[in-house]
A and B are shown apart, each in its own frame.
Chain A
Amino acid sequence: MFDQSVTEWAPWTLLLLAIAGTYLWRGMGTAIAARIDPDSELLQWVACVAYALLAGLIARILVFPVGILEETQLVDRLGATAMGFVLFFIFRRHVGVGTLSAAGIFMALVWARGQGII
């Protein structure tokens, strides 16, 4: 039954499963926190898998978006991201500066395309 499409299930049921699937990691971490060495190699590998997965998700969303972002240009998404990174490093890895400048540049590019300017 789990190989059915999500469209055949009620959204609230799927959400409860998703919440449970997320809490699994939180609860598991809590349960073994008392026993495991926080500096162990296993834990470091687990962290690497998590970071790689998130980076992969972010890159995928930026390159092959699903939903509303699909209607924007790849060059706008990547160009704004790249400019954000330039400012991010100029401002000594400031997360706020990077995020807001990338978002601002992206908004300007999408607006300009909507106006037929570029």
Chain B
Amino acid sequence: MATTTSAQNHAGATGSRRSGSAPAAPVGTRPARRDTKAAIGFLSFNVTGFTLFTLIAVVLSVYISLFNWPLSGGRTSFIGISNYRAALGSYGFWRVVLNTLYFVGVYVPLNLIVSLTLAALLGPRVHAIKGKPFLRVVFFLPVVTPLVASSLAWSLMYNQGGIIDTALGWVGLPAVPWLSSGAWAMPSIIIMSLWLGFGYNMILFIAGITNIPDSLYDSAEVDGAGLFRRFFHVTLPLLSPLVFFGTLMTLITSFQVFVQAFVLTGGGPGNASTTMVLDMYEEAFRYLRLGYGSAIAVLLAIMILIVTAVMFVLQKRLVFYEH
């Protein structure tokens, strides 16, 4: 039961403005028997926390970004959009934006390719694979592993002369300066992120494939469609709402990549792998410029909102809904 509700609800989750605005109870038809008093009781805890720690925090993030706000305890002063002007005018900031876009641009497509392929193979339609539940758990484990610990393990493996270099040597490939070269730092982070991230989408897509009716595959097979054509003409279109949801979530989270860069490279060498959230953290809590850090955070939020909006526009063209 829960599976079906959840599967239907991503569409609801992503397009929730529609369902949210439709009143669930026909207010007009029922006599005015409202539960306002009870509602205040049930809501007070949540609304208090939500107002303080979510609503006010969101407003404050913009507010702080308009100030010169030293963490060290110096005087705060209103400086308008100067933080934004400073960020947008600095080479360092654009480097960080490009790093983030590099990460998102390479990581998200790779994640989707790997997770879709594995979901197709480990879903219920391909019978040739043994021990699917075991494989699913193994592929999913990295998703729930605390990021600092898994990043440390990877940094050990990426070490010069470490196990990855050794393994490359076995197949005759040269060692790679994974974390120590500007060119390889970001690919290292991407490879590690792929390892830890694809399992989530894989499980999501497996749940979606399970819900596709058998009859569609049967008729496709009668029409002589092979494995690949069935995937592209049956699975993919029917899965597209979920693929949209998974892509959107992956995009949003990958724009906020932080721990991998923090632990693996510390953003280096130089700032070759500094991401926007890492930059925000360092500006705010290492250089103690809360205002400037907040401006970076707001610019990141704007980028994510733009990407989300673009995704919703694309959704109308690319996503196939049955109803």
Q: Do A and B bind each other?
A: no
> Which of B's residues lie within 8 Å of A, judged by CB?
none
> Which of A's residues lie within 8 Å of B, judged by CB?
none
